[in-house]
Amino acid sequence: MSSISRRVAVSRWTRPGLTAAEPGSVLPPVLVQLARLFAAGGDERQCLAAGVEAVEVAGSDADRAMALADLADHAWEFGEWARGTAVSRLAAGAYAALDTDDPRYGPAYARALVVLAERLVRQGGDHQYEAYEVAGRAVERYEELADCQPDLARALHLVAQVRVRRYRRPARAAAGRAVALYRELAANDPHRYASELAEARHTLALRTGRRRHAPE
């Protein structure tokens, strides 16, 4: 879709008399959806342009947080890992502010932390230190929430995946907790959690046996 087609699509979905920045505008969600369509079509330039515009014209903190999370996803999908991680930090910060004002945003905030931690773990190197801190905050938030066992297990597994010598003991402890949680979950739904349990067990085996190749 060309930039002209994008403007036409946006104009059709925006209510008459409302500007993008006015409360109630449907423009930010429309831009988010357009960015997803561009992503599906492999159009990186248009996708990221629509995503950035959605962030810029967001009429509420919630819209901005959602637009940031989507933009981070798209940047990561197109191989712009540094940009995707940077925007993920902004998304986590936006959801943190929402969570402070309204605890109903707790799951969204914790999920944003998990996504950021996953990207930091995958980038490796010095990012591992930040990954440990971010995943730890996700664990703390999930522990405060009810009925979040699968998400808590995922966050614990991320803590366990951090390969930094100074965090070796807490990483092993987190790996053990993740295995225990996934074992409970798999007992009730083996088809859904069998692979997660296997991965957690593999990580636990690595953390209990590995003594080298970890940064100081």
Domains of the chain as residue ranges with CATH:
1-101 (1.25.40.10), 103-216 (1.25.40)
pLDDT for the residue numbered 27: 61
Q: Given pLDDT bands bounded at 50, 70 and 90, which one contains residue 28? A: low
Is the per-residue pLDDT at 2 higher than 60? no
Q: What is the mean pLDDT of residues 56-67?
A: 92
**What ranges in 14-80 are assigned the alpha helix state H?**
27-40, 44-56, 61-77
- The whole-number pLDDT of residue 10 equals 45
What per-residue confidence (pLDDT) applies to 165?
86
124-136 pLDDT, tens digit each: 889 999 999 999 9
Task: Look at the alpha carbons of 200, 204, 207, 209 in this order and tell me if their dihedral is positive or negative.
Answer: negative
pLDDT digits (tens, 9 = 90+) for 138-189: 999 999 998 899 999 999 999 999 988 889 999 999 999 999 999 999 999 9
Residue 21 neighbours by CB distance under 10 Å: 12
Share of the chain residues as helix, strand and coil, in percent rounded to the nearest 5: 80, 0, 20
Distance in angstroms (rounded) separating the CA atoms of residues 110 and 132: 14
